[in-house]
Structure 1
Amino acid sequence: MATVPYLYDEKREMERALGQVRAARERGVKTIVEPTVMGLGRDIRFMQEVGRLTGMQIIPATGLYTYNDVPFYFHHRSVDHMAGLFIHDIEEGIQGTSIRAAFLKCATDEPGITPGVEQVLRAVARAHRRTGVPIMTHSHPRSGVGLKQQDILEAEGVDLSRVLIGHSGDTDDIDYLTQLVERGSFIGMDRYGLEESAGYLSTEKRNATILEMCRRGYVEKMMLSQDTCCTIDWFEPEVVAALAPKWNMTYITDEVIPALKAGGITDAQIHTMTVDNPRRYFERQGAY
């Protein structure tokens, strides 16, 4: 919104962010893993202020978010050049600050592995190999692109156990999810609050999938979370409120976890998916 500032009310958005983050903090959430990167309007100073005012630890990312093409700046520059920008965010700091990115983010959606998307995937892989920070992807499970992401990352020499294939909970295809975890990756069961009214799976189907994956012994490969953001300019606010009224930072704690426990998930398994697995994901560091 930098080019059309009259469309962005920073004070209003700060109040909105503080309200959501404080509500999560009151429910015992201590850390937010924040995968807003280039292409999504990242503002690291805004994140820093939210963290300062709420006491929430916010872990930032670097990378580039696109479903198709990359910005024209990258059209005539190499994969290694893009990787270098990500490495700078990790080793030096983001947007002229000393705040360093702690993980890498890339995206593949329904259009599949376009040339632009592949460029980002390979750049993320190379930055990961150089720095050792883990990788998180945005994926489109209904088209099976998580496996294609794994293929490209693996071709670049990435250890897939250091990768989280995000939004995997958008499908209840157990065979597909099993393939992802058997190749070593974590999977994100992370879009709670986006329901059938918005074209996604219901909470009940998401929970049933987690229950089955736990039954099969994969609790140590799942991350339980949501993909909500305090502000999204893709839609008018009233559209988001109508289509996804529970897409917020407290739906997991208030409704999802109690429902999972009622279905047979134990406190220990909840702790594994919300604390232990994220810790292991970030603890494995080191270039290779």
Structure 2
Amino acid sequence: MVMINTVTGQVNSSELGLTLIHEHMRVRSESVFVQFPHLYDEEKEFAKAVAQVNKVKALGVKTICDPTVMELGRDIRFIERVSRETGVQIIAATGIYSYHYIPPHFQNRDIDYMADLFVHDIEVGIQNTSIKAGFLKCAADAQGITPDVEKVIRAAARAHKKTGVPIMTHSHPGAGTGLNQLEILTEEGVDPSRILIGHTGDTDNMEYILRVLEYGSFIGMDRYGLTSECSTENRNTTVIELAKKGYADRMFLSQDHCCSIDWYPEEVPGLMFPKWTMSFVLEEIIPELRTSGVTEEQINLMMVENARHWFEGNNQSTNLSNTKIGGVEFGIPSRKQHESN
């Protein structure tokens, strides 16, 4: 067991419970907000975040990992405020979200300089607070591994080596960047079991997914509700097949939901993706997976135990916890199980 930084203090890894691994309290375009702050309504954004978090709290969620970092409008005080209002543990990240370029400030300084700033967020605090990051975030999208993107990935690796906190990535399966990220991170000496290749579920290309898994990393089946890259049906089929192959202990289910996001006019995300909520996995996906043969133990791995293993850096199996997921309390046989015995 290890101690993990949340936005309200440290918790033991045994206390994570039911975890949503990839959700955003808020996403903002940083430069737009700084120059045109009148466009934003802080209290409205706060109310949206609290409503979503309270909804999943009622469904049993105890912990949320929020990978909102630089270039996504990270505001650590906002995240802390949501956590204190709802009572849900939120783990914040440090890193830089970039598909291509990083600011000249970082272009003209070396990798270790950037890594040291990430370490500061983890060991000292974020944005002149004592609130500390609990994991690292880097990205690579359709543009591939540009020099600036590679710099961030290597900085994340070096910060991990100094602090021991795990690494989550944003990847683009169509461009194969999850494999590129793994190659760079492992070259820097990162244990693949401390790496989560995010958005792997955006493809149903099993050959690609298995190549990622061969490294020994975790994968994020973490964009449920977003159907532009992969349909919900195909996402489910992939998860079911991987579970049958024995990979439930390497998968996370989540939504990459943004309680508010300024990339589009306010009404657009809801119209384009009506199922894209923080509760979609718990309310609809897990029941569908269950009826398709995914076992309670496998669901428990994907929603409870894998988060602990990612933070702890081990793959030890444990007894089922008594965490309710989708209406089933783990460790207690369902009525159907009783009837079949």
- TM-score (normalizing by structure 1): 0.96
Residue in structure 1 matched with residue 194 of structure 2 by the alignment: 162
State how far apart, in whole Å, the 1-side matches of 2:119 and 2:35 are.
27
State how far apart, in whole Å, the 1-side matches of 2:244 and 2:49 are.
37
Counterpart amino acid of 1:54?
T
CA contact (8 A) 2:166 2:310 kept: yes
Does residue 39 of structure 1 match 2:39? no
Q: How far is the alpha carbon of 1:246 from its aligned partner?
A: 1.1
Aligned partner of residue 188 in structure 1, secondary structure: strand
State how far apart, in whole Å, the 2-side matches of 1:29 and 1:269 are.
17
Identity %: 56
Q: How far is the alpha carbon of 1:118 from its aligned partner?
A: 0.5
Does residue 138 of structure 1 match 2:167? no
Residue in structure 1 matched with residue 246 of structure 2 by the alignment: 217
Residue in structure 2 matched with residue 226 of structure 1 by the alignment: 255
Q: How far is the alpha carbon of 1:158 from its aligned partner?
A: 1.1
State how far apart, in whole Å, the 2-side matches of 1:30 and 1:36 are.
19
Q: How far is the alpha carbon of 1:202 from its aligned partner?
A: 1.1
Residue in structure 1 matched with residue 16 of structure 2 by the alignment: none
Residue in structure 2 matched with residue 49 of structure 1 by the alignment: 81
Q: How far is the alpha carbon of 1:284 from its aligned partner?
A: 2.4
Residue in structure 2 matched with residue 266 of structure 1 by the alignment: 295
Q: Once the two structures are superposed, what CA deviation does each residue of 1:28-64 show, in whole Å capped at 9, x if it has no partner?
A: 1111001000110000000111001101100000000
Q: Once the two structures are superposed, what CA deviation does each residue of 1:110-163 show, in whole Å capped at 9, x if it has no partner?
A: 000011100100100100111110000000011111101111111111111110
State how far apart, in whole Å, the 2-side matches of 1:96 and 1:124 are.
20
CA contact (8 A) 2:225 2:277 kept: yes
CA contact (8 A) 2:193 2:313 kept: no
State how far apart, in whole Å, the 2-side matches of 1:47 and 1:2 are.
18
Q: Once the two structures are superposed, what CA deviation does each residue of 1:61-106 show, in whole Å capped at 9, x if it has no partner?
A: 0000000000121121111100010000001011111111110000
Over aligned residues, Cα RMSD in angstroms? 0.9
Residue 235 of structure 1: which of 243, 264, 271 is its match? 264
State how far apart, in whole Å, the 1-side matches of 2:246 and 2:286 are.
19
**Residues paired across the two proteins, number:** 282
Aligned partner of residue 2 in structure 1, secondary structure: helix
State how far apart, in whole Å, the 1-side matches of 2:193 and 2:69 are.
22
Counterpart amino acid of 1:153?
L
Residue in structure 1 matched with residue 286 of structure 2 by the alignment: 257
Q: How far is the alpha carbon of 1:3 from its aligned partner?
A: 2.3
Does residue 94 of structure 1 match 2:101? no
Residue in structure 1 matched with residue 330 of structure 2 by the alignment: none
State how far apart, in whole Å, the 2-side matches of 1:55 and 1:157 are.
36
Residue in structure 2 matched with residue 203 of structure 1 by the alignment: 232
Written as runs of structure 1 = structure 2, the 5 A alignment for 1:59-208 is 59-195=91-227, 199-208=228-237
State how far apart, in whole Å, the 2-side matches of 1:94 and 1:168 are.
29
Bigger helix share = 1
CA contact (8 A) 2:225 2:273 kept: yes
Residue in structure 2 matched with residue 13 of structure 1 by the alignment: 45
Give the unaligned 5+ runs of structure 1: none
Runs of 4+ in 1 over 3 A off after TM superposition: none
Aligned partner of residue 34 in structure 2, secondary structure: coil
CA contact (8 A) 2:224 2:255 kept: yes
Does residue 245 of structure 1 match 2:271? no
Specify which structure has the bigger relative contact order, considering alpha-carbon pairs within 8 angstroms and separated by 6 or more residues. 2
Does residue 24 of structure 1 match 2:56? yes
Give the unaligned 5+ runs of structure 2: 1-32, 315-341
Q: How far is the alpha carbon of 1:2 from its aligned partner?
A: 2.5
State how far apart, in whole Å, the 2-side matches of 1:277 and 1:258 are.
19
State how far apart, in whole Å, the 2-side matches of 1:2 and 1:230 are.
20
